[in-house]
Structure 1
């Protein structure tokens, strides 16, 4: 099978820690009900990612007006070099590397200005890296972020993962009064597999008033305006009724996820088989 920060405030999404809360899925919902395919990258053509769909975030955060480290004390510099991001043998490969004289490089690609959509089913089939200090993610950001700075523009984290916990991923939302370490999140844990040894499908189905999260065929979280009101004591605002764009990246180090240790080997790679969007 085959298969988005220009705004300086955006990088503050990656800060010290994430608060996990219990958001029970509505068992009457199925995993995916939207089947009209409107965008797909199957990564079938070797070389750089398709420039009609993907562009890049570059640097260490200072280009976006942040302190070095993307507002989270991260160690990587993002590049568009083939050694960090390339399509090979039907897969998008994002590679985090350690330099000979220290420091790390990686890549973050996005569909900002190229593909943006309000609502729908967004999913990707991915195999994740492994090791303390690694933080790959598949996420969405509000397309109005330049005019409506984060977190007011909204952020939907379809999948985040800490490399020292190879059986656990989590899905989150960020918005006014529930951002960064106060995001609304829930973990999903495998019982007989690992995310670094096999491919898994990570997705959301997003509609007015609801975001359902799933891994493979398991619906594990459903977030609604009522969820946000409950978790923020009525102070949070639902900001998920505009178009969003897609981001794929691998971060290294920082307050979250922590820093690489002696057991973390490089290079480390995230393999993406496909990205598909339906409405």
Structure 2
């Protein structure tokens, strides 16, 4: 889904794959935070020293080729099904000789010289419901696994703050920096988005990511890549690569009944001359585990991309997902841009895979809400708590938290990333 409005440092981004205050809110908030602090409608400074909660132990590396469920501590949700490999799908013939490892992140610690946190109230192209910040309650490493965990704003600042306050962190690095009550409430969710811009980027190679997706209604995690420089222009002219993104709802379907929840993942290439011409449907691939009774939160899965100067291919758990050879006439011809909007081919001086022929960097984030969850889709047992005709969708979402908050828990609603490895091509 388009998340970034343009510029390498822009927030927001990605593909098109989206009353009453309850008296028992305090009890529900205990699912995510140990205590709540009532604050006035003042600007709130950031805090980054909070210790992480108990988390599952690491599964040793190198990982086995099959998917394994991580054992959880007493605080973790119990009874998750064992992850199972895809059945009934022809296994892709992966080369036996491993390529040379050129970069890896094993998450032995959260290295802030490598991973820059975005701190911003920007809700991006998709009008998401979170404030991204640098806080160990939302991003931390434990036992060799990175956790990105969404939490409730009101768990720290109180319910009234959402209706009367203004939230801003001193280390904001992307405008807008303030989320203020008014037409809608303060962003009801806190989360994290981290990236390797300025520390690591590469062109061509094989990416391998071992990760477990969060489970919980209206959560939207993603592992993706953006160009180090906007060489061909602002988003999506310089491209975007979505390695994996899911909608974390347990039971979410289209109006016609096709599952779109945590049992389905997608990967996407975005390209186009400008934000009005974002093509992705031609380069979007999905894999569903609905038929085997599994999902992408039941354990670690392996997400891979093979990227060369002539081809991009994607794999999930060693099975082929989809890909594209360098198109005849390039991505300009593939997208039909020669006819609409016409004009000069912005990639004519690039390589066969332009705009996917420059260096890209990694982005990891967990969003909540937004237009990635369209109106008209069906969710069980409760419907979508907001719609896009409302003047205050975040307020509607928050005031129906008794519908979705019981599907969240502190460990299970986090995205877990065991490692990211990049090999030469």
TM-score interval for Structure 1 and Structure 2 normalised by the shorter chain: 0.7 to 0.9
For residues 196-252 of structure 1, the C-alpha deviation after alignment (integer angstroms, 9 at most, x for no partner) is: 111001110100121110111111101233285675236496301100000010011
Residue 29 of structure 1 deviates from its aligned partner by 6.8
81 and 229 in structure 1: CA distance in 2 versus 1, 3 angstrom threshold? same
SS in 2 for 1:92: strand
Distance apart, 1:183 and its partner CA = 6.6
- Residue 254 of structure 1 aligns with which residue? 370
**Pairs within 5 Å for 1:99-248:** 99-100=153-154, 101=159, 103-145=188-230, 148-164=233-249, 165-176=261-272, 179=278, 184-190=283-289, 191-192=291-292, 193-226=294-327, 228=331, 232-233=335-336, 235=338, 238-248=354-364
- Kindly report which structure 2 residues correspond to 1:15-94, keeping only aligned pairs within 5 A, or say none: 17-18=16-17, 30=94, 35-45=99-109, 49-61=110-122, 69-94=123-148
**Residue 13 of structure 2 aligns with which residue?**
13
Counterpart for residue 24 of structure 1 = none
* TM-score, with length taken from structure 2: 0.55
CA distance in 2, matches of 1:148, 1:37: 31
Report SS of the residue matched to 2:327: helix
Query: How many correspondences in the alignment?
Result: 256
Where in structure 1 are there 5+ consecutive unaligned residues? Answer: 19-26, 62-68
> Which of the pair has more CA radius of gyration?
2
Structure 1 pair 8/210, CA: closer, same or farther in 2 (3 Å)?
Answer: closer
Give the deviation of 1:44 after TM superposition. Answer: 1.8
Flag as ranges the 4+ runs of structure 1 deviating above 4 A: 31-34, 180-183, 227-231, 234-237, 258-261
Report the CA distance shift for 1:92/1:9 in structure 2 as closer, same or farther (over 3 A): closer
User: Is the contact between residue 43 and residue 90 of structure 1 (CA under 8 Å) also seen in structure 2?
Assistant: yes
Unaligned residue ranges in structure 2 (runs of 5+): 18-90, 163-187, 250-260, 339-344, 348-353, 375-383, 385-396
Structural RMSD (CA): 2.8
Distance 1:265 1:206 in 2: 36
Task: Decide which structure has greater strand share.
Answer: 1
Q: Is contact 1:32–1:205 with CA below 8 Å preserved after alignment?
A: no
Task: Give the SS at the match of 1:226.
Answer: coil
CA contact (8 A) 1:10 1:151 kept: no
Asked whether the equivalents of residues 169 and 189 of structure 1 are also in contact (C-alpha less than 8 Å), the reply is yes
Q: CA deviation at 1:38?
A: 1.1
Give the TM-score normalised by the residue count of structure 1: 0.81
List per-residue Cα deviations over 1:40-65 (Å, max 9, x = no partner): 111123xxx2123211122121xxxx
Aligned-partner Cα distance in 2 for 1:201–1:88: 20
**CA–CA distance in 1 between the matches of 2:116 and 2:231?**
16
SS class of match (2:304): strand
Worse-matched range after superposition: 233-242 or 93-102: 233-242
SS of 1:13's equivalent in the other structure is strand
Cα offsets for 1:7-50 (capped at 9, x unmatched): 378445336x23xxxxxxxx9974787621111111123xxx21
Q: Determine which structure has greater relative contact order: mean sequence separation of CA pairs < 8 Å that are 6+ residues apart, divided by chain length.
A: 1
